[in-house]
Structure 1
Amino acid sequence: MTVAFIQVDLLFETPGGVSAPELGGAIDLPLNLARDGGAWTPPSSLAGALRSHLGDSADAWLGTPGGDPETVPSRLRLLGSETRHSEPELLRSTAINPVRGAAASSTFRSAQVLPAGSAVSLYLRVDRAQRAELDDLGAVLARWRPIVGRGRSTGRGRTRVTRVRLRVLDPATPEGLRALLGGREEQFADTRWVREWKGSTAAGPSAELSVGLVLAGPLHIGGGVPQQDAPANRAPILRRGDSALVPGTTWKGVLRARCGYILRSCGQPACMPHTDEGAACGTCRVCDLFGWTTSAPGRGRPTGHVGRLSFSDSVVSGEIVHRSHVGIDRFTGGARTGLLFSDEVVESGSLTLTVEPTRPGDQLTPADRGLLLLALRDIDDQLVGIGGGTTRGYGSLRLSGAGRELLSELAAEHPTGAAVRALLQGAAA
């Protein structure tokens, strides 16, 4: 009998990781922790993605699903994992009430994520496998691109395999028995017995939309960590490294709200979550595109569904500066004592909005694409801003270059334009 050990090395292309809400305290969604206090990626969190990736051969490697009268156990055993990372990032966000345009009550939340560049090694074992089977499995694993943890629709947790290592041991030999009993380091120590596959460097799913934008006014996305020696009354901007960041949660929230507003303005159904009167319905076009959740599920009812669109974080190229403000005394008309404060803002620069499908091979209908373009046109017309302070001149953006050319699809003679007009008029799109 031979025993095969497989090591799959994964690299985080975007921030992500497995959360542990049960550990929540000061942080609502802290990272799952190992015994040594570092972040941990449970193998069970990767098993479902692995089954999906293996496709038709999933049952042969991972067994048949429970409940099958002829259940077959898994031949592929997930032994454990090791996560390597630098300092985790802390992200903060809040839902917006679409009626008031301000933060919805009790929706402020914080989440810990592993930074891009973090790595996970998954360790597998296979008993009684033929070498040809193992070679096929290694080649398939090298093309794996799982999403680890939550936040799929906001670009979180995208990974790719960088390397797959395989070692086949024969316990009937002294060398094989020594390696088998010696633990993980011994099982992969002798490189003469290890075969490797390099992971694919091909790009992931093609973007539905990739839109360039330039700042038309100061931009402030709050929730950042204060810089060292910064005054206590300075509101920090969200950063990634030394650059300002527009997180995917911001894009998703702004575009969802605007798409819903457009549909309702034309008499079409679109629910209004995070309001006193409304909640996500799970059936309208907005819920289909952006996903939905419910806070009061009944027994056996679904608690939500991931949206069809994923919004990536956007790094802003531009210098971060400080803008000072002061509160005004309504009686004297002068500055009020103790109300001087400042914001960190980006006053000029550019960024890119990238929208991708959450499911490989999925494509938007012309009507759905047109609805997104209408929302982007409203951003370009500066009817909608992003971030904080939009009522005092912050957060205005303009489309640039190819982004402006996309709006030509809304012309009446273009298929996208015709489809979105049929949608907004209530006809079949």
Structure 2
Amino acid sequence: MTPQPEEPKTPDFSTFGNAPLRYLARITITLTGPLAVSAGRTLDTGGADVVRDANGLPAIPGSSLAGILRHAFEDSLWHLGEKAAAQRANLLFGPTVEIEDGHASRLSVTWAHIHASDDRPVDGLLSPDDVRLSDPLLADAREGRRRDRVRLSHKGAADGRGKFEDRMVAAGHRFTFNLCLRGEEGDRADWRRLLGLLHDPNVRLGGGTRHGNGAFIVDRMLVETLDLRTKAGFARYGDIPARLDADCPLPSLAVDPVTARPCLRVTLRGLRAESPWLSGGGVPEGAESIAPVRERRIVWEGDRGTVEETPVHYLRATSLKGALAHRLAWHHNVLTERFAEDVVTLDDATGANNEAVRILLGALPTTKDDPGRRGWLVLDDVVLDKPAATQKVEHVSLDRFSGGARNGLLFSERVLDPRTLRADYVIDVVPPLDNAEAATDTMREALRRTLNDIQRGRFAVGGGTGRGNGRLRCEAIAWSDGGAWIETGTLPATGEREA
């Protein structure tokens, strides 16, 4: 006699204990700046490569997303005190160190996978004959963007090991990831806070967040809370697909933004070039020796993404940051009466060895005991809307005796028309919450004088500044707090921000 299959048992919904709810979210983000999530391996040029999945496509590890969210969550609870904020974060993310009552994270975060041109994320291993391997957006993502990096010394030449090249994911690419929080009714406020933090413009992904990298906007947020103690909730939970490339039945939800840290914003209104300018390191269009950098943009029209055929010019945030660092150090040394004869070497008063630069713009670690620090100022690239008009300029240095060109000094460069650079440039100031290393009156005065130099047209950036290129000017400087911080050091009062 053939045994009959047993009827499936009805789940005992009461066994879900003190975590009966599942807070679910599927989130799609669009990069507004390049993304650099380092894979821990270096390129042949000495820079870092990006993390990739099994298909060779750039991806964002769930651990990176969870780490960013945890730090932002703790920062947003700054008004409770450091210890209380950490304890509350431990309830969601688990403790960061081993303790007696430790537990696993109640928040699950998937890897973020990149979208193809049909606006659908690529999840799972692709077969060698999969048509998506020839998708133009995925091909662009695999190639990435190689960006030259150079740190200039006070002599204007490459500083030590500060010449390398990084690979990044281009701005415009989209990624999707899932969040799932096992919780109860009392977790609703923290869940909304967590989702709101994704709308904070200063919550960024990957490395180099202080010079334009990792910025993004939330394109779609599908959210629902399910009660597994009910038959309907349990069945609904089973209908939610785990794969990111499957259609998700979760409803769309608008979430109020939450700010992780009290910050203020300075806007250089009407920033423009007063002379030809360029960020060097680009591919020559003709026979010129020096060419400006260009990049092809990723643009979306509805649910279709394309890679623009014509690349556009841009001004690197790293170029602006480097020029600001040199000028800031100069003003701070003047204010503190620290002159060349007072130091052993000029390196002792410039770069990370200058207190104003170290606090406001950050510094790399120099020793095992020095962890380095990230700066207060957050800058972004200036990307033009369309390719700029260019001009080829010839240069030659003549030998005074023979009248011929001196060796190595006959070259040409392609510069950009100054009329192409017109923008309101925004710099965010994000102070540390513990105020352990506060910006002194002298540091703030040095920053004020540096910004005033830009307003007066005394500031140059990019390549060829010694021969007249890259002189910038702005019409006005506007502070979001009316100038209270730069004048008196008073930070904006934000009060408690419970979601």
Q: Percent identity?
A: 22
Report SS of the residue matched to 1:197: coil
Q: Deviations over 1:16-59 (max 9, x none)?
A: 23122414223612211111111111111111221133345422
Report SS of the residue matched to 1:72: coil
Name the amino acid aligned to 1:356.
D
Counterpart for residue 374 of structure 1: 449
Name the amino acid aligned to 2:355.
C
Cα shift at 1:265:
2.8
Indicate yes or no: 2:414 matched with 1:357.
no
Q: 1:358 and 1:269, CA in 2 relative to 1: closer, same or farther beyond 3 A?
A: farther
Conserved? CA contact 1:21–1:28, under 8 Å? no
Name the amino acid aligned to 2:362.
G
Indicate yes or no: 2:323 matched with 1:254.
yes
Q: Deviations over 1:157-203 (max 9, x none)?
A: 112333332464969899669647x74269x6462xx2332356899
Q: Please, which of 448, 451, 460 is the counterpart of residue 385 of structure 1?
A: 460
Counterpart for residue 137 of structure 1: 191
Counterpart for residue 58 of structure 2: 39
Indicate yes or no: 2:471 matched with 1:396.
yes
How many aligned residue pairs are there?
400
Report SS of the residue matched to 2:48: coil
Indicate yes or no: 2:96 matched with 1:65.
yes
Instruction: Give the alignment of 1:70-109 within 5 angstroms.
Output: 70-84=101-115, 86=137, 87=140, 88-98=144-154, 100-109=155-164
Q: Deviations over 1:203-260 (max 9, x none)?
A: 9965234343332222121022344xx33x4422023455432211111111111111
Cα shift at 1:293:
1.8
Counterpart for residue 15 of structure 1: 34
Q: Give distance in 1, aligned partners of 2:372 and 2:316.
A: 22
Cα shift at 1:105:
3.4
Name the amino acid aligned to 1:141.
L
Conserved? CA contact 2:313–2:383, under 8 Å? yes
Cα shift at 1:141:
1.0
Q: Please, which of 348, 355, 370 is the counterpart of residue 302 of structure 1?
A: 370
Q: 1:139 and 1:304, CA in 2 relative to 1: closer, same or farther beyond 3 A?
A: closer
Counterpart for residue 379 of structure 2: 311
Q: 1:220 and 1:104, CA in 2 relative to 1: closer, same or farther beyond 3 A?
A: same
Q: Give distance in 1, aligned partners of 2:46 and 2:441.
A: 41
Of the structure 1 ranges 369-378 and 9-18, higher mean CA displacement relative to structure 2 is found in 369-378
Cα shift at 1:67:
2.9
Q: Deviations over 1:255-301 (max 9, x none)?
A: 111111122234446999x9666786668232111111233x13xx2
Name the amino acid aligned to 1:101.
G
Q: Give distance in 1, aligned partners of 2:248 and 2:312.
A: 44
Q: Give distance in 2, aligned partners of 1:112 and 1:14.
A: 13
Query: Structure 2 unaligned runs (5+)?
Result: 1-15, 75-84, 117-136, 297-310, 490-499
Q: Give distance in 2, aligned partners of 1:147 and 1:376.
A: 25
Q: 1:225 and 1:20, CA in 2 relative to 1: closer, same or farther beyond 3 A?
A: farther
Indicate yes or no: 2:180 matched with 1:125.
yes
Of the structure 1 ranges 344-353 and 149-158, higher mean CA displacement relative to structure 2 is found in 344-353
Indicate yes or no: 2:290 matched with 1:235.
yes
Report SS of the residue matched to 1:73: coil
Name the amino acid aligned to 1:341.
F
RMSD (Å), alpha carbons: 4.1
Indicate yes or no: 2:185 matched with 1:113.
no
Conserved? CA contact 2:31–2:174, under 8 Å? yes
Q: Give distance in 2, aligned partners of 1:418 and 1:50.
A: 32
Q: Please, which of 222, 226, 232 is the counterpart of residue 165 of structure 1?
A: 222
Q: 1:321 and 1:44, CA in 2 relative to 1: closer, same or farther beyond 3 A?
A: same
Q: 1:185 and 1:130, CA in 2 relative to 1: closer, same or farther beyond 3 A?
A: same
Conserved? CA contact 2:333–2:349, under 8 Å? no
Counterpart for residue 426 of structure 1: none
Report SS of the residue matched to 1:7: strand
Q: 1:306 and 1:270, CA in 2 relative to 1: closer, same or farther beyond 3 A?
A: farther
Conserved? CA contact 1:142–1:164, under 8 Å? no
Conserved? CA contact 1:263–1:270, under 8 Å? no
Q: Give distance in 2, aligned partners of 1:137 and 1:353.
A: 34
Q: Give distance in 1, aligned partners of 2:70 and 2:163.
A: 35
Q: 1:177 and 1:150, CA in 2 relative to 1: closer, same or farther beyond 3 A?
A: closer
Q: 1:213 and 1:200, CA in 2 relative to 1: closer, same or farther beyond 3 A?
A: same
Q: 1:284 and 1:42, CA in 2 relative to 1: closer, same or farther beyond 3 A?
A: same
Conserved? CA contact 2:279–2:463, under 8 Å? yes
Counterpart for residue 212 of structure 2: 155
Q: Could you say which structure has the greater relative contact order, defined with CA pairs below 8 angstroms and 6 or more residues apart?
A: 2
Q: Give distance in 1, aligned partners of 2:156 and 2:408.
A: 27
